[in-house]
Structure 1
Amino acid sequence: MEAAAILSAVARDAAAGSARPVVIGLCGAQGSGKSTAAARAAERLTAEGLATAVLSLDDLYLTLAERVSLAATVHPLLRTRGVPGTHDVGLGIALLDGLARGGTVRLPRFDKAVDDRAPTDAWPLTPPDLRVLLFEGWCVGAVPQADAALVEPVNALEADEDGDGRWRRYVNDQLAGPYRALFARLDRLVLLRAPDFGVVRGWRIEQEQALRRATGGGMSDAGIDRFIRHYERLTRHILKEMPGRADATIALDPNRTII
C-alpha cells in the first residue's frame, strides 16, 4: 500500500463523521515524499467524490521583508525560511477558520524562485464543496522540546552561529505558542517517518539535483549541507516523539519504500 492510499483512508474516515471540511496534517522530513503523497491522495479523494485541496506549510512563509526584519531584531538565522517562527501563523489560522465556517478561501502560494510570497491574485480558491484539506509540511503537528534539550547544540550551525541558544529557544517558543494554536486545528495527523536524520541529506540532494536538471539553478551540495542543519534539531525530535501520538505513522526505508 502506498503512502497516498493510507493518507486517503485516514481522510475518508475523518470526513465521514464531519459536517465541515476536515484538515489532515501530513508531517515528513525534507525529501520524504510528502508533497507527492498529498497530491496523489487529493486526486484519489476527488475522484471518489470528496473535493480535496492541498496546502503546504511552505506556502505560509513570511515575506522576505518580514524575515529580514526578524533577522535584524531577533536572530540572523531567521532570515532563512523553514523553521517555526518563519511562517505567517495568523494567515494559516485565518484560512483554516474560514474553511470551518463553510466558506471558500484563497490558499496562499510562496515563490521559492524569488524567496517571497506570490501575489494574492495567484492564490487558488478552494472549491465551494471542499470536504478535505491536506496540510503538509516538514514540521506540521510538531510540539516543542523540553527546555533542557535546548542546552547543547546538535550541529556545527548551532554551535557556531547560535552559541547562546537564542535562535533555538525562539523557535521552540514559537512551537509552544502560535504554532500550537495552528496545529490544534488538525483533525488527524499522519507521519511519514524517515529511518533517521542521516538519510535526509541524500533525499534533499536528490530533490535539488532534479531541480538543477529542470531549471539549471538550485543549491550546491555544500549549500544543502548548511541548509538542512537549520532543520536537524526539530527533525530528530519529531522522529523520536511524534510516532507515539500520530493517528498514522508510515515508516519508510532509505529508498522511501514503506516498511
Structure 2
Amino acid sequence: MSPEAILTPLVADVLAAAEGRPLVVGICGAQGSGKSTLAAALSARFEDAPVLSIDDLYLCRAERRRLAAEVHPLFATRGVPGTHDVALGLDLIAGFRRGQALSLPRFDKATDDRADGAEPVPAGAKLLLFEGWCLGAEPAPADAPINSLERDEDPDGRWRARVEASLAGPYAALFGEIDLLIFLAAPSFETVADWRWQQEAALARALPGAAAVMSRGEIDRFVAHYERITRRLLRDLPARADVTLWLDADRRCVRIRRHGETAREDADSDGGSG
C-alpha cells in the first residue's frame, strides 16, 4: 500500500477531530524519501491544502554567503539548521492559524536561490502540509566528526555547534507548531545518497545545462552535511513521531506504527525489514 493510501484516512480522522481548528501536518523524511510527492498527493486529496516545504524557507544565496564569511564556510551550503528563515516560517504558520490569506515562498534549487514571486493561498485553509528532512529533530552534543566533511572542514566543531544551537533555539519553536508528525523512515543512511542522486539526475533531465546540477561526487559531499542529523532521526524519531512508515529501498512501505502502538507489517507489502 502506498504511503498516500495509508495516511489519507488517518489525516481525515485528525481533521475531523480538530473540529475546524487549523491543523499543521508535518512530513519528515530524508532526501529522496518521497515526502514532497506524498505532500502533493495529500494536498490533492484534501481540497488543495497548501504545502510548505522547509526547503522553501532557505535563506537566499547572499545571506548564506554572509553566514559563510562571518560564522563558518560550510553555511554556504543550504540545508542544515541555521540556513533557513525560521521567523518567516513561524509568521506563515501564525497567519494560517488566524485564517489569513498566505503567500508561500518558493526556492529554486536549480539556481540555488529564492525564486521570484510566491504561491498565493486563499484565506480560511484548514490544513497546512509542512514537509522537510529535519522536522522534529532535537539537538545533541556536537561531538567527534562522523565523516570526512566534518573532520576536514569543521575540525574544531564550530559549524556542528552552531547547527545544534539552531535546533535548540528557533527550530524547536518551528517544529513545535506541528500538530501531527509523520516520519518516512529510510532503510539506512546509505540509501539516502542513492535517493538524492536519483533526484539530481531527474533535475538534470528536466533542466539540461542548469549550472547548479551536481555530479555524484558532489552529491555525496552534499549529503554528508546532513548525515549527523539524518542518522539521529532514523534512530530516535520513530519513538516520538505520531506515525512512522518504514520504507524499503524502492520507497515501499514495509512497516507502520502509530505512536503508542506496536509496529505492524504493511499487509500489501512483499516484505522487508525496513
Structure-1-length-normalised TM-score: 0.93
Match of 1:224? 219
Identity %: 54
Q: Report the residue type matching 2:217 in the other structure.
A: A
User: Does the residue aligned with 1:144 lie in a helix, a strand or coil?
Assistant: coil
Match of 1:81 among 78, 82, 87: 78
Q: Give every structure 1 segment of 4 or more consecutive aligned residues whose post-TM-superposition deviation is greater than 4 Å.
A: none
Match of 2:192? 200
Deviation of the 1:16 alpha carbon = 1.4
Alignment partners' CA distance in 2, 1:103 and 1:64: 29
Match of 2:118 among 115, 123, 129: 123
Which structure dedicates a bigger proportion of its chain to helix? 1
Match of 1:71? 68
Deviation of the 1:209 alpha carbon = 1.3
Please list the CA deviations of residues 49-94 of structure 1 after superposition, one character each: whole Å capped at 9, or x if unmatched.
Answer: xx51111100000111111111111100001000000000000000
> Are the equivalent residues in 1 in contact too, given 2:197–2:216 (CA < 8 A)?
yes
Gaps of 5+ in 1: none
Deviation of the 1:151 alpha carbon = 1.6
Please list the CA deviations of residues 13-49 of structure 1 after superposition, one character each: whole Å capped at 9, or x if unmatched.
Answer: 2221323321000000001111001101111122xxx
Match of 1:144? 139
Match of 1:135 among 130, 136, 154: 130
> Are the equivalent residues in 2 in contact too, given 1:5–1:41 (CA < 8 A)?
no
- The answer to whether 1:155 aligns with 2:156 is no
Match of 1:248 among 220, 243, 253: 243
Q: Report the residue type matching 2:46 in the other structure.
A: L
User: Does the residue aligned with 2:105 lie in a helix, a strand or coil?
Assistant: coil
Match of 1:103? 100
Please list the CA deviations of residues 194-237 of structure 1 after superposition, one character each: whole Å capped at 9, or x if unmatched.
Answer: 01101011111111111222222421111101100001000000
Segment of structure 1 superposing worse, 32-41 or 17-26: 17-26
Gaps of 5+ in 2: 255-274
> Are the equivalent residues in 2 in contact too, given 1:11–1:132 (CA < 8 A)?
no
Please list the CA deviations of residues 91-130 of structure 1 after superposition, one character each: whole Å capped at 9, or x if unmatched.
Answer: 00001001111111111111222211123xx211212231
Structure-2-length-normalised TM-score: 0.88
Alignment partners' CA distance in 1, 2:122 and 2:22: 11
Choose between structure 1 and 2 for higher RCO, CA contacts under 8 A separated by at least 6 residues.
1
Q: Report the residue type matching 1:207 in the other structure.
A: Q
Deviation of the 1:10 alpha carbon = 3.4
Match of 1:57? 54
Alignment partners' CA distance in 1, 2:157 and 2:189: 21
Q: Report the residue type matching 1:223 in the other structure.
A: E
User: Does the residue aligned with 2:225 lie in a helix, a strand or coil?
Assistant: helix
- The answer to whether 1:239 aligns with 2:231 is no
Alignment partners' CA distance in 1, 2:229 and 2:85: 19
> Are the equivalent residues in 1 in contact too, given 2:100–2:122 (CA < 8 A)?
no
